[in-house]
Structure 1
Amino acid sequence: MLERLKTSNDFRLNFQYFLLQGFYWMIVCCAISLGSAYLSDRGYSTAGIGILFALAFAMAAILQPIISINTDNSSRYTVVDVLTVLGIIVTIDMFLACTTSGKSIATGLTFFIGVMFAQLVQPFLNALNFFIEDRGVEMNYGVARANGSLFFFVISLVAGNLMKASSERVLPILGFIASVGFMSILIWLRYTLSKSSKSFAKEYDPFEKRQAGEEITVKTVKKFISDNMTFFVIMIGVTCFFFGHVLINNFVYQITSHVGGDEADTGGILALAALVELPAMILFNKIKYRYSTKLLFGISAFFFFVKILFTALASTVGMLYFSMIFQALAFALFIPASVHFVDEFMPAKDSVKGQAFLVVAMTLANALASFVGGGCMYTFGVTFSLWFSTVITLAGVVVCICGLFRINAKK
């Protein structure tokens, strides 16, 4: 392996990208997934945590296209530069979070910034895969993303047990270590790219390759919806069934505590969810040749419902662990299936807007589940919130599957 790192530029770039995905998902675990446990230990209410999550996701949704458009229109800055700036901000924020204490403004502010910028990094990190491919390097995104889940698995177990053994203070410390690792690998990757003899593509959009002159405006969006009403209905379904998924992820500590668990159990549950993602993500390219992406999309939607149903039924920590097994056929299958589904079933002229609508649907679910879910838990409790989300998820699955039956592959 060391010899290949020295001699093969393609292997070195793939290895660096694998590590970037790994360190990024460690940051996500510390900044987002275990965030509710961290803030709860600091004295924040479930409603307050939900509001902070919702505001952070909303701001990220606003900033993502702004940064994307400015990067796309610039001849001086690339997606690597964007990731460098975002990575520096996250690293500084994690360091400052280590100095905070109690239920303070600083605690809430550093959490808000951490969630927002961790969310901002994701689309640009995914785009980095295609940015490197534009230099003629064959990348394996599925394995890299699976590596992210593997790192998430490790940090979930470590962080959960350390929080139980010591205090919530270990979480920003681990987040800072992960962000330093992320920046170190990114600097190494920048150096590798600068020494590469292969040239960049002339034009590059950090989210997607657009047709020349194509812009997403209010007018084009309205026309897109009218021309692709069935797809738009499917995206409404996605927002609804993703609602339950986000509620579980953002408030897993409250859900675990409700059945008698603690921080270590929370970390273990998150770790199991990450571990079962690996097979579908690694093997998706083989699976999609055997089954249609439309079928895989529908299967993933159904298992989002199964997952939250068993979460709502759980009365013990063991039952919560069991419910996480369905992550293997829900989120793990949905992420690659949804992207390929849009590519296969949308006309070429609308594929970019289709991918954008997919991101919007998931982002909207993030904001709604954080705000509404947090408010429901604070007012009515965990049980009501889970059953409410189960109903929303079921409605989304029904709407999505009905839409899938009506949509046809692009001609």
Structure 2
Amino acid sequence: MGKLLNFKYACTQGTYWMLYGIVGSFASVFLLARGYSNSEIGIILAVANVVAVVLQPLVADFADRSKKVTLIGMIQLMSIIMILMMAGLCVLQKKTLALSVIFLMLIAWHTILQPLVNSLSFKLQECGIHINFGVARGVGSLAYSALVGILGTMVENYGVMVMPITGEVILVMLLISLALTKSQYNKVKTVNTDKGLIDLDRKDEGIEEINLIDFIKRNKVFLVVNIGVIGVYFSNQVLNNYMIQVVSNVGGDSEDMGRILSLMAFLEIPVMFCFDNLRKHFTCQLMLKVSAVGFVVKIAMCYIATTVTMVYIAQLFQLISFGLFLPTMVHFIDEMMSKGEAVKGQALFTMMVTVTTMISSLLGGIILDLSGAKMLTLVATIATAIGALIIIASVDRVKKQEDY
């Protein structure tokens, strides 16, 4: 039963990240085809991230405190809303304010879902089964890689209309995987309760409800760590958003860019699949420090690169940077936060990543126009190094919060 629950949760992660391929990676492709300029697309992406930053802590606070709506139920409700939004993309064929708002909210809504989907792995463990988050997130990367490769060909052959149609199919798949996960969770929970492995009467004992302001007050050092996240993720988002400029600067083209992005995605998978074994030998604090250094080395190598081959070699550090950092941070938050504030901890982390995306999108474009890709990678290297130093200096000082 445990393997089946893990499989169904992995399907949830897979469909979530497949959806990112449509509303995230192919956002420019869709909006350009609908008549938007690059500047207008930049504004839509930036505003979407601002909306996500504002709404994430509010949604997380509700998820942590709500006794009527379960975490799975909340994700299902938000997915249904996204189905309605995606339908709007099918109806609106030209650039309009309505299309801008709908696409903006799709991006924001998808971003808001991330901490909820991540926190679900730990919620599911309340039934007495270990959920392997690393493997599940690795499935997410694998599903994303497969989809974007196929989607690129489909868009080329049939036009951008295949994107919202594919999005609707993926959202239905997400709802199905959530329903199956919920059913399996309840089944396992009932069996383990009957066996005496779970004491339902003690389930909520000692869990303190905490609002957002109290969360920040109780976790000041954790907030400092997340400020460091802004720094280390700056380079990651720069490479995601402006890889074509970085590659072109050393003589590459869009084909090289596609191969490099595919390599980055696939290199995340081995570490995520082996993460449970890594946790047996290393602490989350140590792995966060190592991954922070990995981010610095990767972007520094991109800065000094004079050939496309050197950019390829730099991506090998994706193994110990993003591939290691993401599952480690998710588990670190679960280990250090009390049950009443776990989702808010995940939301704060996701919010900082969202802030980084917004800053790198706007600042990166300006630097490229003024000074080129070389200066952009230099600025990214400096920002990442500062972020890494903050994480290394503060992560060991985060104190575990107990349930009161």
Q: Scaled by the length of structure 2, what TM-score is found?
A: 0.81
Residue 356 (structure 1) shift? 5.7
Structure 2 match to 1:77: 69
The answer to whether the 8 Å contact 1:153/1:272 transfers is no
SS at match of 2:208: coil
For 2:166, the aligned partner's letter is L
Deviation string, structure 1 residues 20-48 (Cα, Å, up to 9, x no partner): 11111110111112323443455544443
Cα distance in 2 for partners of 1:87, 1:355 equals: 19
The answer to whether the 8 Å contact 1:50/1:372 transfers is no
SS at match of 1:288: helix
How many residues are paired up? 392
Q: Please identify, of 381-390 and 109-118, the stretch whose mean Cα deviation from structure 2 is larger.
A: 381-390
* Correspondent of 2:238 among 229, 244, 247: 247
1:304 pairs with 2:284: no
Structure 1 match to 2:208: 213
Structure 2 match to 1:368: 359
Residue 246 (structure 1) shift? 1.8
Residue 133 (structure 1) shift? 1.9
Q: Please identify, of 385-394 and 251-260, the stretch whose mean Cα deviation from structure 2 is larger.
A: 251-260
Gap change, CA 1:336 and 1:115, over 3 Å in 2: same
Structure 1 match to 2:54: 62
Cα distance in 2 for partners of 1:81, 1:386 equals: 42
Cα distance in 1 for partners of 2:201, 2:365 equals: 46
* Correspondent of 2:379 among 370, 382, 388: 388
* Correspondent of 2:17 among 25, 28, 36: 25
The answer to whether the 8 Å contact 1:153/1:270 transfers is no
Cα distance in 2 for partners of 1:257, 1:374 equals: 15
Residue 355 (structure 1) shift? 5.4
Structure 1 match to 2:326: 335
Cα distance in 2 for partners of 1:347, 1:128 equals: 15
Q: Please identify, of 212-221 and 301-310, the stretch whose mean Cα deviation from structure 2 is larger.
A: 212-221
Deviation string, structure 1 residues 115-157 (Cα, Å, up to 9, x no partner): 1111122111122222322223332222111111111111122
Cα distance in 2 for partners of 1:370, 1:101 equals: 26
For 1:213, the aligned partner's letter is E
Deviation string, structure 1 residues 369-408 (Cα, Å, up to 9, x no partner): 233334444555544433322221222223333445x748
For 1:19, the aligned partner's letter is C
1:157 pairs with 2:149: yes
Deviation string, structure 1 residues 307-327 (Cα, Å, up to 9, x no partner): 223444556665544443322
Structure 1 match to 2:120: 128
Gap change, CA 1:252 and 1:223, over 3 Å in 2: same
Cα distance in 1 for partners of 2:348, 2:314 equals: 29
Cα distance in 2 for partners of 1:147, 1:292 equals: 23
Gap change, CA 1:381 and 1:297, over 3 Å in 2: same
Gapped regions of structure 1 (runs ≥ 5): 1-7
The answer to whether the 8 Å contact 1:260/1:317 transfers is yes
Q: Please identify, of 41-50 and 384-393, the stretch whose mean Cα deviation from structure 2 is larger.
A: 41-50
For 1:401, the aligned partner's letter is I
Gap change, CA 1:94 and 1:253, over 3 Å in 2: farther
1:52 pairs with 2:47: no
Gap change, CA 1:87 and 1:315, over 3 Å in 2: farther
* Correspondent of 1:90 among 63, 82, 85: 82
1:112 pairs with 2:93: no
Cα distance in 1 for partners of 2:253, 2:205 equals: 48
Task: Provide the identity percentage.
Answer: 30
Cα distance in 2 for partners of 1:187, 1:343 equals: 24
Residue 99 (structure 1) shift? 4.0
Deviation string, structure 1 residues 59-85 (Cα, Å, up to 9, x no partner): 223223323333444332111111111
Cα distance in 1 for partners of 2:280, 2:145 equals: 28
Structure 2 match to 1:5: none
**How do 1:323-362 and structure 2 match up within 5 A?**
323-342=314-333, 352=342, 357-362=348-353
For 1:397, the aligned partner's letter is A
Q: Scaled by the length of structure 1, what TM-score is found?
A: 0.80
* Correspondent of 1:175 among 160, 167, 174: 167
Structure 2 match to 1:141: 133
SS at match of 1:77: coil
Structure 2 match to 1:4: none
For 2:47, the aligned partner's letter is L
Q: Aligned-pair RMSD on alpha carbons? A: 3.6
Structure 2 match to 1:3: none
Deviation string, structure 1 residues 165-193 (Cα, Å, up to 9, x no partner): 55444433333332222123223334445
1:36 pairs with 2:28: yes
Residue 291 (structure 1) shift? 3.1
The answer to whether the 8 Å contact 2:57/2:347 transfers is no
The answer to whether the 8 Å contact 2:295/2:322 transfers is yes
1:400 pairs with 2:354: no
For 2:207, the aligned partner's letter is A
Residue 242 (structure 1) shift? 1.0
